[in-house]
Amino acid sequence: MTDEETQEQEQSTELLQFEELIQGLIDNEYGCCNDFILPGTVNGLNATIRSLSESESMKPSGFGNNEDFKKDELVRGDKINWIEEESTNPFELIYLNKIGKFIGYLNRTCFTAITSFESHYSSYEKNSFYKRHIDQFKNEKGRKYSIVLYLNEDWKKEDGGLLSLYPKAGQQIDISPLGGRMVLFRSDEMEHEVNPSLTRTRNSIAGWLKN
C-alpha cells in the first residue's frame, strides 16, 4: 500500500469514527467509539500520566470554577494535570490534532460553532470516584460537549470504575473505561458519575468543546 493509499484509509477511518460519535449523540444522547486513538498512542499517554503522578504533578481536583471552586473528596477524588495547547509531547500532539479534526468535522456537518477546547489528565486511585453531576458551570455556559478518552490497559469488569450516564430519555448507561475508547455527550444536559475503581488506578483524559 502506498503512502497516499494509507493516508486515504486513515482519513476514511477517522470520518467513520466521527460519524459514530455524532450518530450516537443524536440517537442515544451520547456517542461511544472504541479505538478512537491507536494503542501505541494510548500507551504513550498512559506513560505520561504515570510520569506526572511519580513527579507529584497530578494535583487534587475540585468542582465549580472561580469563586465557586471547592474541594471535597466526598464528591470528587481524582487528581488532574491540564494539557497545554502548545504541548511538545508527541503523544499529546496526536491527541490534540485528532480532537482538532473532530471539532472541524462537527462544525462543518452539525454547525456547532465550537471555537476551542480544553482537556486534562484525570487519575482516579483505587476507591476514588466522582459523584453524579453535569459539566456545565452555573456562571459560565461555554462548555457544550464533554469528551472522555480512556487510557487503561486490559481493564476488566472486576476493576470497576464504570462511567454511569443518566440520559433524560432513557435508562442508566454504564461504560467501561477501556483504553482507546472515546465517549461524547452534551456538557449541559447529561448527568454522569465515575464509580469507584476497585482494584487499581483508572486513567483518562477529560475534555470540553467550547464556544
**How does residue 77 score in pLDDT terms, banded at 50, 70 and 90?**
confident
- Looking at residue 76, its pLDDT comes to 82
**How does residue 63 score in pLDDT terms, banded at 50, 70 and 90?**
low
Beta strands in the chain (DSSP E): 30-33, 59-60, 79-82, 116-124, 130-133, 143-150, 163-166, 173-175, 182-186, 191-194, 202-210
Work out whether strand 130-133 and strand 202-210 pair parallel, antiparallel, or are unpaired. Answer: unpaired
Quick one: CA dihedral 41, 93, 33, 17, positive or negative? negative
- Looking at residue 6, its pLDDT comes to 73
- Looking at residue 164, its pLDDT comes to 98
- Looking at residue 73, its pLDDT comes to 67
- C-beta atoms surrounding 170 within 10 Å: 11
**How does residue 87 score in pLDDT terms, banded at 50, 70 and 90?**
very high
Q: Could you tell me the CA-to-CA distances from 108 to 112, 114, 179 in Å, in that order?
A: 8, 10, 28
Q: Average pLDDT, stretch 46-71?
A: 80
- C-beta atoms surrounding 18 within 10 Å: 22
- Looking at residue 170, its pLDDT comes to 84
- Sheet containing 130-133, strands listed edge to edge, beginning at the edge strand earlier in sequence: 130-133, 191-194, 163-166, 173-175
Report d(CA 121, CA 84) in Å as an integer.
11
Q: Average pLDDT, stretch 64-74?
A: 57
- Looking at residue 135, its pLDDT comes to 87
pTM listed for this prediction = 0.91
Work out whether strand 116-124 and strand 59-60 pair parallel, antiparallel, or are unpaired. Answer: unpaired
> Which grid cell sits at 45?
499517554
**How does residue 50 score in pLDDT terms, banded at 50, 70 and 90?**
very high
Q: Which percentage of the chain shows pLDDT scores above 90?
A: 81
- Looking at residue 72, its pLDDT comes to 61
Mean pLDDT of the chain: 91
210 phi/psi in degrees, rounded to 5: -125, 155
Report d(CA 30, CA 24) in Å as an integer.
5
- Looking at residue 9, its pLDDT comes to 85
Rg (CA), the chain: 17
Q: Average pLDDT, stretch 49-76?
A: 76
Strand partners, 204: 122, 150
- Sheet containing 202-210, strands listed edge to edge, beginning at the edge strand earlier in sequence: 30-33, 182-186, 143-150, 202-210, 116-124, 79-82, 59-60
- Looking at residue 64, its pLDDT comes to 56
Q: Average pLDDT, stretch 24-39?
A: 97
Q: Which domains does the chain have, with CATH numbers?
A: 3-210 (2.60.120.620)
For residues 201 and 77, the model is more confident at 201
Residues counted in the chain: 211
